[in-house]
Structure 1
Amino acid sequence: MKISVCIPCYNVENYIGECLESLLNQTLKEIEIICVDDCSTDRTLAILTRYAKCHNNIKVYRNLFNSKLIQTRKVALSHAFGNYIMFVDSDDILERNACEIAYNAIVKNNSDIVEFNCKQIDINGKEINEDKSYCNLIEGKLAGDAIFENFKNNKIGQMLWNKIYKSDIIKSAYLQISFSRLYYKEDVFLTSIIYNNIKSYYGIPDKLYKYRLHSGQSRASNITLEQFKDRCKCADIISDMIKCFYSQSDLTLLQLQMIKSKMNNWLKNSNLEELLKHKGEDGFDDYLTVFINAWINNELYDRLQYINNEDIKDIYYTQLRLVLECLHTIYEQCGSEVIKDNQAAQNLCNRFSACKKYNIDSIVKNINNDIDWRS
C-alpha cells in the first residue's frame, strides 16, 4: 500500500461524506482510508459504516470512549499499513490529484516529509480568497539544522494535515508522546516532535488541501473558564515535556532554541487578558496556580550556574523575561491573591532581582513594587 490516509472523526455528519468522496476519487488508487470515530453523538458512525460496506479500501474503527485528537490519531496509525502517511481532518477535502502529487514528490526527493499548500473553503465548500496561500512553507529541500531553524522561525508549517510522511517517521514521533490528550495547540507540539525526528524536508507550492473555515473561526473568540482550565492542563503537560527535554545531555543548541521558541509563542498567544476576565469565578484561582507553577519551573534556572555556553544561557534568560512579564500582567489584570501566596513566583523574583541581562532586574523591581509578597 502506498499511502494510508488517517481521518479522526467526531460529529461531522454534514461533512464526512464530502471528505470521503474526495479520497475515493483520487487519481492515485493505491491508498487506504482509515477512519476512527471518537464516539460521535450524531450520524457520523452510520455514514462511515455505510461507506465502508461499499468500498473495501475504507476501514472504520471506533474508540471505546471519547479520547480526543491525539489518541484518535494514534489509533488510526496503529491500523495503517501504507509506506507513507497523510492526515485529513474529517470536515476537509483533498484535491483530486493530491495523493498522487504528494506521493511522487516524497518518493522522487527521498524526503522524510513533504509539505504542500492549501486553500480555504467556507462551510458550503466555496473557496475563500482563491489567490491567497495559507500555509507557511519553503519550496525545495531542507536538511539537518536548517529544518529546525526554519520551524523555529515559523517559516515551515505547524499543521499535521498539509503533509505526507514516511510511515516510520510519524509512528516514531507518536511513540514519544506519553500523554493521550493535549488540551490546546496539539499540532504545534506534535510537529515539534516530528521535526526533531526528520533529516530531510521538501516543500511544494501545490494547493492540494482544502481547509474548511467555520463561521467565526477566523475571529478571536471569548475563552470560557473551562477552556482556561484546559490551557492550564496543557501548560502543565508542556512543562513536564520541557523538563524532560532540558535534562537530555545530547540536546543541541538548535533544538533548545526550537523548544524555547514554541514554548514562548504558546505563552504569548495564551491571551492572558481574555483568560483573566474569569477572575472571581469558581475554580479560577486553582487553575491560575497551575498555570503559574507550570511556567515558572524554578528547577530549570538552577542549571544556570553550571552553564558556560552564553548562547544557551541566552535561551534561559529570554524565557525568564517572558515569564516575569506574564506574571506581572496576571497581577495587573486581576490583583489575584494567588500571586501573593505563590512561593515559587516570589523565589523566582528574589533569585533574579539583580540580573541585568535583558533588563530583568527592572521587571522584577516593578513586580516587587506592586506585589506585597507574603512570607
Structure 2
Amino acid sequence: MSDVKVSIIIPVYNVEKYISECLDSCINQTLQDIEIIIVDDCGSDKSIDIVKEYAKKDSRIKIIYNKQNQGPFVSRNNAAIKASGEYLLCLDSDDFLDLRACEIAYNASKDGYYDVVTFGSYYWNNNSASVFSEFETSSFDSGDEFGNWLFRSKSISWNLWGRLIKRNIYQANLDFLITINSRLIMAEDVLAMFVIYHNCQRLNFISDMLYYYRYNPNSSTNDKSIENIKESIKSFEEVIAKMKEFVLKNRCNKKWQKLYISLGVHECNILKRELKIKEGKYGFRDKFKSFIEGRWFVIRRKLRVKFGI
C-alpha cells in the first residue's frame, strides 16, 4: 500500500467481546489512507478468528503473529517495525475511535510539521461516555518549550494511545525499547512516551475528543489480585530502571526526566502499599510513612506547577 498516512496498531489478546467494535471504528475512518496492523498476542479465545474475517474483506488489515504472549509493549514495538504509515496511532483492542479521529488528527499535524498530535478521550462504561482526558489547544515548536510546559502541568498524560506519533520519531530509539523482552503489564506507556518525548521537537495538543477508553473488568488494570499487583510492581520497577538507563545514555530534558521518574516511583509506591494492605501487613508505621509521602507529593506538585521547581 502506497502513501499510507496513518498506521493503526492494535495488539489483540482475548477481546472477542470488543474486537468487532474496535475494528469497525478503524475501517470506517473518514481518512481512508490508513493501514490497520493487528498483532496476535496468542490469546485463547476467538479474537483473531474475527480479525481474519475482517481481513478477508479489507486489504488494509495486516496481521502479524507473536510466537508467544508478550503483552502490548512488545506487540506495539513489533508492529512499529512493520508499519509503513507516516504516523502511528496505537489503539487498545477493547477501545475504539471516533470515525473522524485519523482525519482530524492528521490534519492537525500540518502536513507533517508536528512530531506528535495528542487529542482527548472519553471513558466508556455501560454505553455511556464521560471525559477521561481533555486538552486545551496548544502547540510547541521545541522540545525545551514543551518540557517546561509539561513540568508545570498538574495532570500528566503519559498514555501511548490517544496520539498520532510520527513513525520515524517512534522508531528513533526502537533499538533501546526492543531490549525489553519481558511482559510488562503496567507502566509500559510511561517508558514508551518517555523515550518518544526525547525525540520530539514539535508537538500539537488539540481539544477534539477522538478516543473511547473502555472500562474492561477483565483487563490487567482492573485486576486487584495479589499476584497481579506483584507483577505490576515488577513492571514499574523495570520501567523506572530503564528510564534511568536511558537518561545515562542520552542527553534528556532534565525537567521532564525528573518528572517522569518521580511519578513512576510514586505510582510504584502506591502499588506496594496496596500489596501490603492485601497481605494484611499494613501497620501503623506504614500508615505514618504513607501520610508523610502523600503530603510531600502534594507539596512538591504545588511547587512544580506554581513555581516550576
Band of TM-score, shorter chain = 0.7 to 0.9
Within-5 A mapping of 1:253-268: 253-268=254-269
Q: Percent identity?
A: 31
1:86 aligns with 2:89: yes
Provide Cα deviations, 1:306-359, integer angstroms capped at 9, x if missing partner: xxxxxxxxxxxxxxxxxxxxxxx888249xxxxxxxxxxxxxxxxxxxxxxx9x
Q: For 2:67, which of 39, 42, 64 is the aligned residue?
A: 64
Within-5 A mapping of 1:85-164: 85-108=88-111, 110-123=113-126, 126-129=127-130, 133-142=131-140, 143-152=142-151, 153-155=153-155, 157-164=157-164
Larger RCO of the pair (alpha carbons < 8 Å, separation 6+)? 2
CA distance in 2, matches of 1:235, 1:128: 29
Q: How many residues align?
A: 280
Mapped contact 2:38–2:61 kept (Cα < 8 A): yes
Provide Cα deviations, 1:120-140, integer angstroms capped at 9, x if missing partner: 2225xx2323xxx32153412
Backbone CA RMSD of aligned residues = 2.8
Q: Letter of the 2:229 partner, please give it.
A: F
Return the offset for 1:108. Answer: 4.4
Q: Letter of the 1:135 partner, please give it.
A: S
Return the offset for 1:20. Answer: 0.9
Secondary structure, counterpart of 1:8 in structure 2? strand
CA distance in 1, matches of 2:248, 2:283: 29
Normalised by the size of structure 1, how large is the TM-score?
A: 0.67
Mapped contact 2:101–2:210 kept (Cα < 8 A): yes
Higher Rg: 1
Normalised by the size of structure 2, how large is the TM-score?
A: 0.80
Within-5 A mapping of 1:44-63: 44-63=47-66
Q: Letter of the 2:150 partner, please give it.
A: F
Q: For 2:285, which of 311, 316, 332 is the aligned residue?
A: 332
Q: Is the alpha carbon distance of 1:150 and 1:176 closer, same or farther for their aligned partners in structure 2, counting shifts above 3 Å? A: farther
CA distance in 1, matches of 2:123, 2:150: 22
Q: Which residue of 2 aligns with 1:322?
A: none
Q: Which residue of 1 aligns with 2:227?
A: 226
CA distance in 1, matches of 2:118, 2:216: 23
Q: Is the alpha carbon distance of 1:22 and 1:263 closer, same or farther for their aligned partners in structure 2, counting shifts above 3 Å? A: closer
**Structure with higher strand content:** 2
Mapped contact 2:230–2:275 kept (Cα < 8 A): no
Return the offset for 1:235. Answer: 4.3
Return the offset for 1:43. Answer: 0.5
Return the offset for 1:172. Answer: 2.0
CA distance in 2, matches of 1:246, 1:4: 29
Q: Is the alpha carbon distance of 1:213 and 1:196 closer, same or farther for their aligned partners in structure 2, counting shifts above 3 Å? A: same
